[in-house]
């Protein structure tokens, strides 16, 4: 089972072990308890056997003394075993859940450090399932693994030892038959691994489909596509059912098959034991036979369990591999060790010969240079795909330039920590991201310790205060994931309020007012103007009325600045800008 994986990928278990190591104390305690409980459980049949032997004389000759001594012994051992079992489970629980908690925490820390270029190319749904579902499977596997793997092995060895003490020849019969059980289990596990693999692949496919369709439910309904998407879903769902059936059925064969072997062993023990007892009663007493039979029936259980654990662990490690894959992605280029970690920027920005491409073979921004004085309003216009949003990705250092440099107040941005750079920027994007939470939490996102007055002032400046007040719960209204009851424009206003509260020295508005009506927008612009007095701002917009008042308008086309100047001077040039501007009046 392991061999196939080793061919292509390194094994996962060293990585899993590394994460368990900090909890070694608990694991040791758990192993100790497993030892205690397994050995204890093995003693019980011996005591029972002795008690039975004490009754062998039949009517009138039972040795009550021995029987009660054995009863006390069984009681004591049971109490010890029970305690050990509980501690064992509690330790396993603790380790499994803490390890999965730590992996999840690490995953989130990782996500904060991953380069955006990686995140932008991986679907959110898949990453979520690596952090949630896959870790859950791993922790289930660990729980079961700890609980049964070690106990199982101890029990098998212990049983063999005990049986050997009772009768070597019968033990031999058992020992010969056992590998059979392992063989059968191994054979089945190998077969079912294939189906498990297929099951999880189809399951992933189905989850992706569900994700997409639930997310796009409104469009599905608007186009009356319910039946069609149901048909697509049914197709995947049927395939999943088929793979699941095979995986479940094949893996469930392990149990009855090993039980068959177990029953064979049992029959063999009964016959061999009885024949021995008939031949020479000193070779095997009836009491030992009873103990022997108890062992024989106990003996196969750990085999069953271990084979079950193997299946479970196969699955758990397959999932862990996906999660560890996320944790092993190369971080973004770390901040330089001597990077400046705080900066109060005035807002002078210089771009020098900047070049950037998302994919090496497709040039986007080439030899781009620009000088911005503190307090200037820069508007960027141009057709879709000309590189406006990319420029913002570079200014915020979401992506690093391929060549050239960008400097803020004379500091090349790579000599600053990302944090120091970014807190100097306020950013409002067209894609309005709000968190599931109250409106208050959302506005105070960038400044969690803001006072009520500050929050209300920001909301007023963003012209959203009166709307919030009219909501039934006011600032405590909870915004759901889908942000229902709030229009796109209102979401943009909330995002603006969020930035207004922080009042950074530099501002980026990327189509930030595209869904806001022009009257509100004018009021917001005025508020920005007031608040941004002496602050630098970049505005990307299609709506030309938004950008007319900018100090400098950059007209971009195919990653280059084709025109540059004020509205009036650009109109006078009668070039690309004038053509764009005039097109809005064409009917």
Partner 1 sequence: MKYLLRALKAYRLQSFLAPLLKMAEATFDLLVPMVVAAIVNRGINTGDTSYVWRMGGLLLLMALVGLGFAVTAQYFAARAAIGSASSLRAQLFRHIQRLGWGEADTLGTSTLITRMTSDVNQVQSGVNMFLRLLLRSPFVVIGAFVCAFLIDAKISLIFAAAILGMALIVGTIMVITAPRYRRIQGQLDQVTGATRENLSGVRVIRAFGMEDRETERFHSLNSILARHQRQVGRISALMNPLTLVVVNLGVIFVLQAGARAVDEGPLLSGEIIALVNYMNQILVELVKMAQTIVTLSRALASLKRMEQVLDTEPQMAFPEEGALPDATAPAVVFDHVSICYPDAGAESLTDISFRVKSGQTVGVIGSTGSGKSSLVHLIPRFYDATDGKVSLFGHPATEYSRVSLREMTGIVPQRAQLFAGTIRSNLLWGNEDADETALWAALKAAQAADFVRERPLGLNDPVEQGGRNLSGGQRQRLTIARALVRKPAILILDDSASALDYATDAALRKALRSLDWPVTVFIVSQRTASIRHADLILVLDDGRLVGSGTHEELLQTCPVYREIHESQYQKGDARA
Tell which positions 227-286 bind partner 1, by CB under 8 A. 228-230, 233-234, 237-238, 240-241, 244-245, 248-249, 252-253, 255-257, 259-260, 263-264, 266-268, 270-271, 274-275, 277-278, 286
Q: Does 566 bind partner 1 (CB under 8 A)?
A: no
Quote the least distance from Cβ 315 to partner 1, whole Å: 12
Quick one: 339 or 544, whose CB is closer to partner 1? 544
**Residue 583 engages partner 1 in binding (rule: CB under 8 A):** yes
What is the residue whose two structure tokens read 């771009």? 351
Query: From CA 504, how far away is CA 519, in angstroms rounded?
Result: 25
Residue 133 in the binding site for partner 1 (CB under 8 A): yes
Contact characters 10-49, partner 1, x per CB under 8 A: -------------------------------x--x---x-
Q: Which is nearer to partner 1, 28 or 342 (CB)?
A: 342
Encoded one letter per residue, x for contact with partner 1 by CB under 8 A and - for no contact, window 402-431 reads: ----------------xx--xx-xxx-xx-
CA distances from 283 to 43, 171, 287 (A): 20, 13, 12
Chain positions 144 to 203 lying near partner 1, rule: CB under 8 A, are 203
Place of tokens 């059936």: 245
Q: Is 342 in the site for partner 1 (CB under 8 A)?
A: no
Contact with partner 1 (CB under 8 A): which of 28, 101, 117, 451?
A: 101
Structure tokens at 413: 């941005």
Residue 160: CA count within 13 A, CB half-sphere: 14
Query: Residue 104 CA to chain centroid, in angstroms?
Result: 6
The site for partner 1, by CB under 8 A, has a size of: 172
Min CB(156)–partner 1 separation in Å: 16
Instruction: Considering the complex, state which of residue 160 and residue 260 has its C-beta at the smaller distance from partner 1.
Output: 260
Which of 27, 51, 154, 570 is close enough to bind partner 1 by CB under 8 A?
A: 51
Which own/partner pairs from 162-167 qualify as long-range (CB within 8 Å, at least 24 positions apart)? 162/42, 162/45, 162/46, 162/291, 162/295, 163/292, 163/295, 163/296, 163/299, 166/284, 166/288, 166/291, 166/292, 166/295, 167/273, 167/276, 167/283, 167/284, 167/288, 167/292
The nearer residue to partner 1, 222 or 360, going by C-beta atoms, is 222
Q: Which of residues 483-542 bind partner 1 (CB under 8 A)?
A: 484-485, 487-490, 492-493, 498, 502, 511, 514-522, 542
Residue 249 Cβ, how far from partner 1 at the closest point, in Å? Answer: 5
- DSSP H helices, 328-349, are none
What lies within 8 Å, CB to CB, of 473 at 6+ separation is: 438
CB of 131 to partner 1, least distance (A): 5
3, 61, 337, 360: which one binds partner 1 (CB under 8 A): 61
Confirm or reject binding of residue 572 to partner 1 (CB under 8 A).
no
- Residue 465 found at the interface with partner 1 (CB under 8 A): no
d(CA 269, CA 259): 15
Minimum gap (Å) between residue 7 Cβ and partner 1? 30
Q: Please answer whether residues 430 and 462 qualify as being in contact, where contact means their C-beta atoms are separated by less than 8 angstroms.
A: no
In the complex with partner 1, the residue whose CB is nearer, 56 or 201, is 56
Give the max Cα distance, the chain: 125
- Count Cβ neighbours within 10 Å for each residue of 370-399 and write b for 16 or more, e otherwise: bebeebbbbbbbbeeebbbbbbbbbbbbbb
Residue at token pair 């200037």: 376
Question: Which H or E element spans position 376?
Answer: none
Cβ–Cβ < 8 Å for 305, 259: no
Least Cβ distance, residue 498 to partner 1 (angstroms): 8
Q: Which stretch binds partner 1 (CB under 8 A): 21-29, 159-167, 209-217, 555-563?
A: 209-217
Scanning residues 363 to 402, which ones bind partner 1 (CB under 8 A)?
Answer: 383-385, 396, 398
Nearest approach, Cβ of residue 242 and partner 1 (Å): 9
In DSSP terms, 536 is beta-bridged to 506
Alpha-helical (H) ranges within 409-536 are 418-422, 439-443, 452-461, 465-470, 488-502, 518-531
- Residue from the set 210, 329, 562, 571 that interacts with partner 1 by CB under 8 A: 210
Cα 421–chain centre separation: 29
Distance CA 161, CA 413 (A): 71
Sign, CA torsion 283/287/293/298: negative
Determine the interface stretch with partner 1 among 19-27, 190-198, 475-483, 561-569 (rule: CB under 8 A). Answer: 475-483
Dig out the tokens for 73 from the structure.
């012994």
Binding window for partner 1 (CB under 8 A); candidates: 1-9, 291-299, 452-460, 532-540: 291-299
Q: Are 66 and 315 in contact (CB under 8 A)?
A: no
Task: Give the nearest distance from C-beta 405 to partner 1 in angstroms.
Answer: 21
Question: Which one of residues 31, 94, 180, 352 is an interface residue with partner 1 (CB under 8 A)?
Answer: 94
Q: Which two tokens stand for residue 560?
A: 């280059």
Q: Which of residues 540-559 bind partner 1 (CB under 8 A)?
A: 542-545
Residue (7 or 361) nearer to partner 1, CB: 361
Site string for partner 1, 435-454 (x = CB under 8 A): xx--------xx-x------
Kindly tell me which residue out of 3, 6, 18, 579 binds partner 1, with binding defined by CB under 8 A: 579
Closest CA to 446 of 505, 508, 495, 502: 502
Query: What end-to-end distance do the CA atoms of the chain give, in Å?
Result: 69
Nearest distance in Å: CB 63, partner 1: 8
CA distance 535 to 238: 60
Q: Considering only the stretches 14-22, 220-228, 312-320, 347-355, report the one whose residues sit in contact with partner 1 under the rule CB under 8 A.
A: 220-228
- Comparing CB distances to partner 1, the nearer of 111 and 327 is 111
Nearer to partner 1, 5 or 293 (CB): 293
Q: What's the min distance (Å) between Cβ of 286 and partner 1?
A: 6
108 near partner 1 (CB under 8 A): yes
Task: Please identify, using beta-carbon distances, which residue of 186 and 446 lies nearer to partner 1.
Answer: 446
């Amino acid at each position: 089972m392991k061999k196939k994986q080793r061919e292509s990928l390194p094994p996962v278990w060293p990585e899993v072990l590394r994460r368990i190591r900090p909890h070694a104390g608990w694991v040791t305690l758990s192993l100790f308890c497993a030892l205690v409980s397994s050995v204890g459980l093995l003693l019980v049949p011996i005591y029972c056997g002795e008690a039975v032997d004490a009754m062998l004389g039949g009517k009138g000759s039972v040795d009550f003394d021995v029987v009660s001594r054995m009863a006390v012994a069984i009681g004591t051992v049971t109490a010890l075993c029970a305690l050990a079992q509980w501690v064992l489970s509690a330790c396993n629980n603790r380790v499994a859940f803490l390890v999965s908690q730590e992996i999840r925490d690490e995953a989130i820390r990782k996500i904060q450090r991953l380069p955006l270029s990686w995140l932008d190319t991986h679907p959110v749904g898949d990453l979520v399932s690596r952090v949630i579902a896959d870790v859950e499977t791993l922790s289930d596997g660990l729980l079961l693994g700890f609980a049964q793997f070690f106990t199982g092995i101890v029990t098998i060895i212990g049983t063999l030892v005990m049986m050997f003490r009772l009768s070597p020849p019968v033990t031999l019969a058992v020992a010969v038959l056992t590998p059979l059980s392992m063989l059968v289990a191994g054979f089945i596990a190998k077969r079912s691994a294939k189906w498990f693999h297929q099951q999880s692949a189809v399951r992933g496919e189905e989850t992706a489909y569900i994700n997409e369709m639930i997310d796009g439910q409104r469009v599905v309904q608007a186009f009356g596509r319910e039946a069609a998407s149901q048909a697509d879903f049914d197709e995947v769902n049927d395939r999943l059912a088929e793979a699941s059936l095979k995986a479940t059925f094949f893996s469930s064969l392990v149990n009855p098959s090993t039980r068959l072997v177990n029953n064979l062993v049992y029959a063999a023990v009964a016959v061999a034991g009885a024949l021995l007892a008939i031949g020479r009663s000193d070779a095997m007493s009836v009491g030992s036979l009873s103990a022997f039979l108890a062992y024989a029936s106990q003996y196969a259980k750990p085999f069953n369990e271990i084979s079950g654990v193997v299946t479970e662990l196969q699955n758990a490690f397959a999932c862990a591999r996906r999660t560890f894959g996320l944790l092993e992605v190369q971080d973004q280029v770390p901040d330089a060790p001597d990077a400046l970690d705080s900066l109060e920027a005035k807002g002078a920005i210089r771009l020098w010969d900047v070049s950037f491409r998302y994919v090496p073979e497709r040039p986007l921004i080439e030899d781009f240079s620009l000088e911005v004085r503190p307090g200037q309003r820069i508007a960027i216009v141009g057709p879709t795909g000309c590189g406006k949003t990319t420029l913002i990705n570079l200014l915020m250092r979401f992506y690093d330039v391929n060549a050239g440099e960008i400097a803020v107040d004379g500091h090349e941005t790579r000599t600053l920590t990302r944090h120091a750079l970014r807190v100097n920027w306020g950013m409002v994007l067209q894609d309005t991201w709000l968190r599931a939470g109250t409106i208050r939490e959302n506005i105070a996102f960038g400044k969690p310790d803001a006072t009520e007055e500050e929050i209300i002032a920001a909301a007023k400046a963003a012209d959203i205060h009166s709307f919030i007040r009219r909501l039934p719960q006011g600032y405590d209204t909870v915004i759901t994931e889908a942000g229902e009851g709030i229009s796109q424009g209102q979401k943009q206003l909330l995002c603006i309020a969020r930035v207004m509260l922080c009042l950074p020295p530099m501002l980026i508005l990327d189509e930030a007012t595209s869904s806001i009506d022009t009257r509100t927008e004018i009021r917001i612009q005025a508020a920005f103007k007031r608040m941004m007095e002496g602050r630098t701002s970049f505005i990307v917009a299609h709506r030309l009325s938004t950008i007319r008042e900018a100090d400098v308008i950059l007209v971009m086309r195919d990653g280059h600045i084709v025109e540059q100047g004020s509205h009036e001077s650009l109109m006078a040039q009668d070039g690309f800008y004038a053509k764009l501007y005039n097109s809005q009046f064409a009917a």
